């Protein structure tokens, strides 16, 4: 049968076979007619379109009637010392909240800089709307645009410097965002947030700030815990010895001990710094020994002493103290006497304190920190 088919094909005239093949080729061959059609017209349109790239800083806004197809906007970050005063305080105050709530992010940056100017030059004028302003600053800190975030961070820093404890009731939304931003990977945002946190611990009193920071020491995000721990460690010394004693040294040592086992080294280092500070304060107060109060006219007071005895005579009142010159040194002022103990006695007292306030494992970790520090000082 195949032979018969081949014979039939061979009997077909060559002209028909050729025309058939050419017809099939016409069906499969793509037509490329008018490939370059309108190319010239497209080029004219492309060349005729205007591309506008205005330079916009924090103090300028894009005109409403301008038509911009492609724009490159650059926001200028102005340091606090380089900010100028606002031209019209009343107008600035009236448009402040509306500008902060605008959907135009360039206008938001401009308004944030106005908030900074007002906080520096006219902080009393913004007191009535300060709570609303802080709410909008916290909102700006959540912006998807890094320029808005950094400007809001710089605004937060100026707010801390200007209003101090006046913002403590509105601090929470700012604090959580600054801790988060200081923990992110964008370096220029992270560094700005860290500077703002340092200013926060500098300008807001520790007695008000520490309770705000404490919940973030247990935050689920390890970097947030680390930043909060660093802020806590910076803030405690500003209480002073008396303030630490009033706040509760036992409470603070428990907080520091809990941070020693944290995941990140920043938290652990902040905890070690805090523990050493608490040890110094504890030993300072432990050294204070109540002494007899000497009353009378200081001008009539005479002191005579030998290596073994010391006699203080004053207006027919005499006080005698015997001392061992090898183990005890007595320093005297007009009202009190302070005796410094042997270093071993101090160590035992601190050890007993830690063991009484902490779990065995936590006490062991804390004592390891202080013993290493003491050995370093001795060597």
Residue 157 belongs to domain with CATH number:
1.25.10.10
242 within a domain of the structure (yes/no)? no
Query: What is the per-residue pLDDT for 183?
Result: 92
Percentage of the chain surpassing pLDDT 70?
A: 64
Name the domain count of the chain: 1
Give the pLDDT band of residue 377 (cuts 50, 70, 90).
Answer: low
DSSP 337: E
In a domain, 282, yes or no: no
3-state secondary structure of 38: coil
Q: Quick one: which of 189, 200, 192, 185 has its CA closest to 230?
A: 200
Tokens encoding 321: 């103290």
Does residue 289 carry a pLDDT above 80?
A: no
The residue-averaged pLDDT of 143-160 equals 96
The pLDDT > 90 percentage for the chain reads 59
H-run or E-run covering 377:
helix 360-378
3-state secondary structure of 313: strand
What value does the mean pLDDT take over residues 7-13? Answer: 50
Q: Answer whether residue 140 is part of any domain.
A: yes
The pLDDT score that the predictor gives to residue 343 is: 62
Tell me how many degrees the CA angle 142-143-148 measures, rounded to the nearest 5. Answer: 115
Q: Which residue has the higher pLDDT, 91 or 61?
A: 91
Least confident stretch, 19-23, 95-99, 145-149: 19-23
Residue 270 has pLDDT above 50, yes or no: yes
Asked whether the beta carbons of 111 and 102 are under 8 A apart, the reply is yes
271 pLDDT above the threshold of 50: yes
Tell me how far apart the alpha carbons of residues 308 and 123 are, in angstroms, rounded to a whole number: 64
What sign does the dihedral 117-149-168-281 (CA atoms) show? negative
Q: What is the mean pLDDT of residues 352-360?
A: 94
Q: What is the pLDDT of the chain when averaged over all its residues?
A: 77
pLDDT in tens, 116-145: 999 999 999 999 999 999 999 999 999 999
Q: Does residue 110 lie within any of the structural domains? A: yes
> If residue 321 lies in a helix (H) or strand (E), which one and from where to where?
strand 317-322
pLDDT in the model for residue 318 = 40
- Using the predicted structure, report yes or no on whether residue 291 has a pLDDT greater than 50: no
Average pLDDT over residues 222-239: 96
Q: How confident is the model at residue 76 (pLDDT cuts 50, 70, 90)?
A: confident
pLDDT tens-digit series, residues 103-124: 999 999 999 999 999 999 999 9
Q: Locate 243 and state its tokens.
A: 């303030």
pLDDT of residue 286: 73
Q: How confident is the model at residue 180 (pLDDT cuts 50, 70, 90)?
A: very high
pLDDT over 50 (residue 339): no
Q: How far is CA 204 from CA 32, 157, 197, 212, in A?
A: 75, 11, 10, 11
Burial of 310 (0-12, 13-18, 19+ CB in 10 A): middle
In a domain, 315, yes or no: no
7 has a pLDDT exceeding 80: no
Residue 332 lies in a domain: no
Which residues span the domain enclosing 113? 51-204
Residue 374 within a domain? no
Distances (CA, A) of 367 to 166, 265, 349, 373: 39, 18, 12, 10
Name which of 190-194, 210-214, 328-332 the model is least confident about.
328-332
Q: Give the pLDDT mean for 67-94.
A: 82
- What pLDDT, on the 0 to 100 scale, is given for residue 38? 47
The C-alpha torsion from 110 through 111 and 115 to 120, rounded to 10°, is: 30
Work out the pLDDT band at 342, boundaries 50, 70, 90: low
128 within domain boundaries:
yes
* pLDDT, tens digit, 9 for 90 and up, residues 357-367: 999 999 999 99
């Amino acid at each position: 049968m195949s032979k018969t088919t081949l014979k039939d094909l061979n009997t077909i005239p060559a002209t028909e076979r050729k025309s058939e093949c050419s017809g099939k080729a016409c069906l499969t061959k793509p037509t490329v007619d008018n490939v370059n059609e309108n190319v010239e017209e497209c080029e004219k349109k492309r060349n005729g379109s205007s591309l506008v790239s205005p330079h916009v800083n924090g103090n300028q806004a894009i005109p409403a009637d301008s038509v911009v197809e492609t724009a490159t906007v650059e926001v200028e970050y102005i340091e606090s010392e380089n900010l100028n005063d606002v031209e019209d305080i009343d107008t600035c105050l009236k448009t402040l909240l509306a500008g902060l709530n605008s959907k135009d992010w360039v206008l938001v940056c401009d308004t944030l800089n106005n908030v900074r100017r007002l906080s520096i030059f006219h902080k009393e004028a913004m007191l009535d709307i300060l709570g609303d302003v802080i709410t909008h600053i916290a909102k700006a800190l959540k912006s998807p645009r890094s320029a808005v975030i950094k400007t809001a961070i710089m605004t937060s820093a100026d707010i801390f410097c200007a209003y101090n404890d006046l913002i403590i009731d509105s601090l929470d939304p700012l604090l959580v965002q600054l801790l988060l931003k200081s923990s992110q990977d964008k370096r220029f945002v992270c560094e700005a947030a860290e500077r703002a946190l340092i200013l926060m611990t500098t300008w807001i009193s520790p007695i008000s700030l520490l309770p705000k920071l404490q919940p973030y020491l247990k935050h689920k995000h390890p970097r947030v815990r680390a930043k909060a721990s660093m802020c806590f460690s910076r803030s405690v010394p500003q209480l002073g010895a008396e303030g630490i004693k009033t706040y509760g040294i036992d409470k603070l040592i428990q907080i520091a001990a809990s941070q020693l086992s944290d995941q990140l080294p920043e938290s652990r280092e902040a905890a070690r710094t805090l523990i050493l500070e608490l040890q110094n304060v504890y030993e300072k107060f432990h050294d204070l020994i109540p002494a007899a109060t000497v009353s009378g006219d200081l001008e009539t007071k005479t002191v005579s002493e030998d290596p073994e005895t010391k006699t203080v005579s004053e207006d027919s009142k005499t006080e005698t103290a015997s001392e061992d010159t090898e183990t005890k040194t007595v320093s005297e002022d007009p009202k009190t006497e302070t005796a410094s103990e042997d270093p071993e006695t101090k160590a035992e007292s601190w050890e007993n304190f830690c063991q009484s306030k902490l779990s065995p494992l936590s006490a062991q970790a804390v004592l390891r920190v202080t013993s290493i520090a003491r050995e370093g000082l001795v060597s």
